[in-house]
Structure 1
Amino acid sequence: MSSLNYKHLRYFWMVAKTGSIARAAEQLHLTPHSISGQLSEFADSLGVELFRRVGRKLELTDTGRRIVSYAEAIFNTGDELLELVRDQAFATTSYRVGCADSVSKLIAVDLVEPALRLKDPVKLICREGRLDSLIADLAVHRLDLVVADRPIPGHFSVRAYNHLLGESPMTAFCTEALAETFDQPFPACL
């Protein structure tokens, strides 16, 4: 195999998603015969079986299931790219902001709100999550900025910069019995 035929991959993915060649052909506006031929070429080019027949149904092989998961990632990334290009077409800069679930949302709003007062319009796409998940998304460019209550932990190999944007006094109380159940100190135990 010299290179992957993405058209064949899309046809395979559609058959896997819809569960049948006929339904995939209908959605792709092609004949079932065309889809069937393309699937055979795709399987031959990879040198693997993608489906097995069980009665009149097609069932994915283990290899087929793995290829479907890659196809999902590939085509979802393609959809994200198209969304990015569409956003650019409207001349609005988009920033994807992750906010650690340990940060007060009132503080997070105060930190990102000045971006909405910029001369050129800005679209903020905010989501909340665990810091480790947000840093992973930052590393693969799914996020542009992460608002957190602490710097990036040393065990992450992410090319990013930490900047202190502000401080906020906060006090947390709990019983001694509860404090002893935590395996990490505050705020990491949250």
Structure 2
Amino acid sequence: MSELNYHHLRYFRAVAHDGNLTRAAERLNLSQSALSIQIKQLEERLGHQLFERRGRQLYLTEAGRIALDHADTIFATGDELLQTLRQTGTTRRAIRIGALATLSRNFQLEFIRPLLDRTDVELILRSGSTAELLGALETLNLDIVLLTQPPAADAVTPFVSEQLYQQRVSLIGSPALASGKLELGKMLAQHPMILPTLESGVRLQFEALAARLGVTPQIAAEVDDMAMMRLLARSGVGLAVMPPIVVQQELETGMLSELDTLPGIVENFYAVQIKRRFPNPLIRVLLDAGQWSGGKGG
């Protein structure tokens, strides 16, 4: 079987991003017919049609979308190779950071703060699921990923996890619900609860605490997004189980109150990398920042 022709793949990528064969041919300094032949040869090699024409525009087929995703990864990796080897020993200007979509925005802001005032640094921020972020890390489309649980590592995907921070988890509610403070067990029994979903490590810890206290909480909502938990807590529908850092501004302004700390329940934050010979030097700037020294926080 013949190998893939990467010139064909590069031409296909240019047309796919442009959506117009004529403009892409002009940009590549090729005739339109020559470019069409290149695309046709790639389609024959892959065994699938990559484009469908609608009027003057070209649209990717399902096979074309898959091919473009792979092409972007391949050429991004090539760019990474050139930039990394050319800049060995110098500070890189770009760093690509991925974060779990449910991760506290306040925590993310504190993490990147050491680079915010640097005019020589370009921050590229992405969010997604754990699987999406780790996949991007493996393909070198991300330099570092922020998660609440460390991924499994093996010889094939050697992830390196570093605990950054350990934040206590509390009961957070509106000032009206905070009036007339009760002991923890009674609060859990009397107030509706806004809880993270069962996939969350915090939820599992909360279920264990409720069992120890002999309480069956009334669940007002199960939420997998911290921003939504914040809104629900502010609306007064119940008490939210969350790290105070998530609602730091609301606590400071008195819009929300921290009713009690949940004993033994913590949210862990991890920075995850993949072993690389030439890691982005800006990663160490973030990891060595003073607020993460010790890896824990109250």
TM-score category, normalised to shorter length = 0.5 to 0.7
Q: In 2, distance between residues paired with 1:52 and 1:164?
A: 48
The DSSP-based 3-state class of the residue aligned with 1:2 is: coil
CA distance in 1 between counterparts of 2:4 and 2:36 reads 18
Superposition RMSD in Å: 4.3
> Residue 137 of structure 2 corresponds to which residue in structure 1?
138
Range moving further from structure 2, 19-28 or 167-176: 167-176
Q: Which aligned pairs between 1:61-80 and structure 2 lie closer than 5 A? A: 62=61, 65-80=62-77
Gaps of 5+ in 1: 115-121
Which residue of 105, 116, 125 corresponds with 1:127? 125
How big is the shift at 1:33?
A: 2.7
1:178 matched residue in structure 2: 193
How many Å separate the matches in 1 of 2:159 and 2:20? 45
Deviation, structure 1 residue 26:
1.0
Indicate conservation of the 8 Å contact 2:51/2:58, yes or no.
yes
More strand by share: 2
The aligned runs of 1:99-178 (5 Å cut-off) are 99-100=99-100, 101-102=103-104, 104-105=107-108, 107-109=110-112, 113=114, 125=123, 127=125, 129=127, 132=130, 133-148=132-147, 150-152=148-150, 159-174=158-173, 176-178=191-193
Change over 3 Å in CA distance of 1:187–1:108 after alignment to 2: farther
Name segments (4+ residues, structure 1) moved above 6 Å: none
Change in Cα spacing, 1:95 to 1:43, as seen in structure 2 (3 Å) is closer
TM-score, length basis structure 2: 0.43
2-structure distance, mates of 1:166, 1:51: 48
Higher relative contact order (CA 8 A, sep 6+): 2
Aligned-partner SS, 1:24: helix
Matched residues, number:
177
Q: Deviations along 1:147-184, whole A, 9 cap, x unmatched?
A: 44x43266x995324444444445342473233x6533
Shift of 1:79: 3.3
Change (3 A) 1:15 1:151: closer
| Mapped contact 1:98–1:128 kept (Cα < 8 A) | yes
User: Mapping of 1:7-26 within 5 angstroms?
Assistant: 7-26=7-26
1: CA distance, partners of 2:65 / 2:14: 9
Q: Per-residue displacement from partner, 1:49-83 (whole Å, max 9, x unpaired)?
A: 455666x7475584xx4134323431354135315
Alignment partner, residue 82 of structure 1: 79
